[in-house]
A = this chain, B = another copy of it.
Amino acid sequence: MDIIKKLEWRYAVKKFNADKMLTEEKLEKLKQAFNLTATSYGLQPIKLLVVQNKELQKELVKFSYGQKQVAQASHVLVICIEKQIDQKFIHDYFARVQQIRNTSDEILDPFKGALVESFSKKEREEVRVWATNQAYLALGTLLTVCALEEVDACPMEGFQPTSYDELLGLDKLKLTSVLVLPVGYRSTDDMFATLKKVRRDLNESIIHIP
């Protein structure tokens, strides 16, 4: 198992095999990996929606600029961000720290206070950008784990978040969708699967500062 070979095997699937479903075990790994991804301050301002409903998937195609992968895929993962990162959100995080690590208030309070203050000063848009960055980080984790597990995927920025949010009832959950990731297995007749990967030479991507 060489991770580099697996990353070379990975590509943005253009056509999924609609009959081949992810096993529960594979899906469980993706869910766990998403939950274990690093996030800024460990705050996890993101949630993962797992859509597994062919009718709904078909409907999502028209809000995905016609990209059929959304309908064909075994599951459509939708990475969402929290709409409300407020004082309660940060307090909930520290309650979790206390519960899991049994850390004393004495140790936690200064950091909690600083974080609450820092976020109270941020504009709503600034917090949205910050949370969106964490969604991209999680996408990187998911794509790498997919490659490792030989699960195919097609990361999508091109979709209509407001229509997704409406159709999936995200408003009630105080979430908004930021990235879409259909997962499943490539179709044997996806001609893109055999195309050579286009990447810069390594010496154009990497700069050594000795």
Query: Of the candidates B47, B141, B198, which one forms a contact with A143 in the assembled complex, judged by CB atoms under 8 Å apart?
Result: B141
Q: Which of A14-22, A109-117, A199-207 is the contact stretch? A: A199-207
| Complex alpha-carbon distance, A135 and B141, angstroms | 13
Given known A-B contacts A100-B198, A198-B42, A32 and B52 have beta carbons under 8 A apart: no
9 A-B pairs in the complex with CB atoms less than 8 angstroms apart:
A31-B206, A35-B206, A44-B199, A44-B200, A52-B210, A96-B200, A138-B140, A140-B142, A144-B144
Binding site for B on A (CB under 8 A): 1, 3-4, 7-8, 10, 12, 29, 31-38, 40, 42, 44, 46-53, 56, 93, 96-97, 100-101, 129, 132-134, 136-145, 148-149, 155, 157, 168, 173, 195-200, 202, 204-210
